[in-house]
Amino acid sequence: SGGQQQRVAIARALAMSPKVLLCDEITSALDPELVNEVLSVVRQLAADGMTLIMVTHEMRFAREVGDKLVFMHQGKVHEVGDPKVLFANPKTPELANFIGTVEHA
């Protein structure tokens, strides 16, 4: 399954004992159950102290697990900071619109 393939890809990357793991939309083609499985693996890596750089549309995950969020829109950085602060008080209309779209989807 797609979730198993993603877990294998993560395990393969971890076999090299990296200090940082780059994850680019690792849940993009997965059904919701598999998304949760893959995110739980990544959540555990973060809890174990692994540095993760993630490109994701999983906003709940980013808010809960991330300690720094970079919000980009149309290839430009619009906001950088603590995810909880940015989501509670967006400074740019781009982030405010994105949050509104995601929360009402």
What separation in angstroms does the CA of 60 have from each of 1, 11, 13, 14, 95?
A: 24, 24, 25, 24, 15
Please list, in sequence order, all residues whose beta carbon lies within 8 angstroms of the beta carbon of residue 12, skipping any fewer than 6 positions away: none
- Judge if 75 and 100 occupy the same domain: yes
Q: Into how many domains does the chain fold? A: 2
Tell me: do 75 and 102 sit in the same domain.
Answer: yes
Q: Are residues 71 and 99 in the same domain?
A: yes
Nearest to 61 by CA among 39, 78, 30: 39
Range of the domain at 100: 67-105
- Does 104 map to a domain? yes
pLDDT tens-digit profile, the chain (105 residues): 677 787 788 888 889 889 999 999 988 878 888 888 888 888 999 999 999 999 998 888 889 899 999 999 999 999 999 999 999 999 999 999 998 876 654
- Entry pTM: 0.76
For residues 53 and 23, the answer to whether their CB atoms sit within 8 Å is yes
Mark whether 71 and 52 lie in a shared domain.
Answer: no
Side chain identity at 103, as an amino acid letter? E
